[in-house]
């Protein structure tokens, strides 16, 4: 009889805990399918599915390749850009402005116009290609 007998390390994977976990998961999924059938929720349809009439059109500020500016296709001088952008916010109700710059425009010019728009009350500015 020897005390402290050394056993060799086993390199085999013990699959018993893995099978236990898989069986528990199987039971959980089976119960969840049954509960889904029992707890069906009937949601009533919306009362009025008509679109909102007060949706305003999008505002797109364009920096054209010839150096000019346009809002929704209408040409605007750089000096008039700030006041015109402020008018289009509708007293703060509009928050989203899209900026589209021609590929030849400098990045600094785009940033200058975006700063002008933020100062005019536009909160969210999106960039379009």
Q: What local confidence, expressed as pLDDT, does residue 106 receive?
A: 92
Q: Report the domain count for the chain.
A: 1
* Helix extents (H) in 13-96: 16-38, 78-88
CATH number of the domain encompassing residue 85: 3.30.420.270
Measured distance CA(26)–CA(28) in Å, rounded: 5
Measured distance CA(127)–CA(101) in Å, rounded: 8
Q: What local confidence, expressed as pLDDT, does residue 51 receive?
A: 62
Q: What local confidence, expressed as pLDDT, does residue 52 receive?
A: 60
Measured distance CA(120)–CA(89) in Å, rounded: 8
Q: Is residue 67 part of a domain?
A: yes
Q: What local confidence, expressed as pLDDT, does residue 45 receive?
A: 80
Give the domain extent around 72: 60-128
How far is the CA of 51 from the CAs of 48, 55, 57, 59, 101, in angstroms? 9, 9, 14, 20, 31
Q: Is residue 38 part of a domain?
A: no
Q: What local confidence, expressed as pLDDT, does residue 58 receive?
A: 86
Q: Is residue 94 part of a domain?
A: yes
- The mean pLDDT values, 10 residues at a time, for the chain of 129 residues are 68 89 94 76 75 70 93 91 88 84 92 92 87
Whole-prediction pTM: 0.55
Q: What local confidence, expressed as pLDDT, does residue 2 receive?
A: 58
Q: Is residue 23 part of a domain?
A: no
Q: What local confidence, expressed as pLDDT, does residue 1 receive?
A: 53
Q: What local confidence, expressed as pLDDT, does residue 49 receive?
A: 61
Q: What local confidence, expressed as pLDDT, does residue 46 receive?
A: 78
């Amino acid at each position: 009889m020897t005390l402290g007998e050394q056993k060799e390390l086993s390199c085999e994977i013990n699959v018993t805990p893995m099978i236990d976990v898989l069986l528990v998961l199987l039971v959980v999924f089976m119960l969840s399918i049954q509960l889904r059938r029992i707890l069906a929720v009937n949601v009533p349809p919306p009362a009025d599915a008509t679109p909102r009439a007060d949706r305003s059109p999008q505002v797109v500020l364009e920096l054209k390749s010839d150096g000019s500016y346009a809002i929704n296709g209408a040409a605007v001088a750089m000096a008039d850009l700030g006041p015109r952008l402020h008018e289009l916010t509708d007293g703060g109700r509009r928050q989203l402005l899209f900026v589209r710059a021609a590929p030849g425009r400098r990045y600094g010019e785009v940033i200058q116009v975006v700063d002008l728009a933020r100062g005019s009350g536009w909160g969210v500015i999106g960039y379009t290609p």
